[in-house]
Structure 1
């Protein structure tokens, strides 16, 4: 530092002898250059006094979070400021952070390596081998999930889950390993190249492959279930809905014709069996027909009886299919047979009434119109 700058700063700080700056590296807690008040009103402490405590704190943070060196460096600097500790040089603090982080990583790899038995250690290593005739390793083959919505991809997703399950990595007790560290290690195993993983030592390589296999076991099942759900929604149900909509469109003309015939028949019933009122004179005329046979003669002049029975049966089938579809929350598939009891409503008139034909099967042949007396 230039002498003029040191003298200027010494004058600002009230230090009589600026030459004490040369002793800064060998200072102690009573050095006038370091005796400054901390936020709590006490004196600043030297870094050497809290180095071991900071190392323990960094080790616990690195073990549980797996933060990178920059994040750990910033956290260590904040920890020192909060406790009124003079900050060391950046290089000194960075070396401490790097040493602690490396020790935490080694402890993680050794812990995972120790959880594997001798026979289990051969299973992860097999993931890095390239099978004969293949271009990629088994790990590259299994860590890629389905990419399209199709039947062949569904078959591949099930095969993938079937191949991962026998690894047995889900049986390893990982309760002592922080979940965040395990997830971080599995991401490295999934995204990293197999050739790079082969270059690591036994502990790191097997620990990474163990975390990757543990992650892939439920993920393969989830991928298969998600793909099945999408297939059902987009391929099966959507196709069934489209086919049902087409079938409905095909039946609309028949339903319209049946409705028109039925409406024409009942219009005659209402016109011939009801009293007529003249709106000008108020005169009431008796019904045009007195008997059921006469009413049917009028109806059959417009709609033959067999065509009317077929129209009623068609409308009952359409109504039953619609109600069944609403109950099931989906349309009734094309060609679905719905049984119902054909009913012909009673018609007013003298000398007889229309009654239901019980037990009639679905279809025009099951709808009959019979005359009955007014008695029970």
Structure 2
């Protein structure tokens, strides 16, 4: 039975508590929240499970060495002293990703180059040959994290970012990141007992992530490879056990998932992504203008929306967000509407007071995830019914 070891999962700003909750539910030990990351402990099987099942993680790292470095000689020696041939074979390509919060070196490229030299030299000494560097499609990715004079070297078990689920081949001008979509749904306390509508669905990401959550489908089910598969200690049999155990927990759900978009190209792309995710029986995509629609059923509805911000898709903010608010008030009673936007001026014209505001980032843009509660009757009557 393999022993537990330290790991760290990277995430987006504000998603640390969500990721910690996910890790706890999966069975991680010694969980500790940081900034855009959560550290924890688990065994090799858990490392595989974390990559396959975490919805709000971008990467899962396995730290392998920590050293104090004060100059380039210390840096070279710290990396050279790691027994690299025991981690991956010389035939595998590798790449380095460096993050620095230190005044000891001028730039991260120098640190990366020095570490690369150390790894290559260690292989030459022990194997007689050196592995190739491939910055785009490396078999093995290594993370260097330098804070002040402390260097942490980690193996990136994920490889490509975990937001690349494998189902989204078609995107529009302003697609929402899959991890961001999943985290926003979790922030909204999305329940599979409610129907979900995305009235400006674009690539369909919100709908796909919500349906996968409702059916307990592992987020990486459509992904073919992870970097840990290229490590020397990769256990293919254990991986299959972990994968099958997760797949056996998939369930059916009764909720409906509906997406509108007025652009025919967006509808076509969303439908293709839904098809690739094998979720056609759950998700319906239609070409419709949200501002001309009304609620389909009388029951509880959750609406999620990533409207244009005016960055890549030009809009008249006052008119657009005014229409958004008017449509919600007029046509969507009994709806909890969640909207993400960085168009702060436009949001002033929604004409509704949000009951929740959560600061998030969509890429480099600071945004807000806002909840608008649309009551079936008047708000006053709603309050009276509660008392």
For the aligned pair, the TM-score class normalised by the smaller chain equals: under 0.3
Query: Normalized per residue, which structure has more helix?
Result: 1
Q: Which has a greater percent of strand?
A: 2
TM-score normalised by structure 1 residue count = 0.20
Structure exhibiting the larger radius of gyration computed from Cα positions: 1
TM-score (norm 2): 0.20
Q: Which has the higher contact order (CA 8 A, sep 6+)?
A: 2
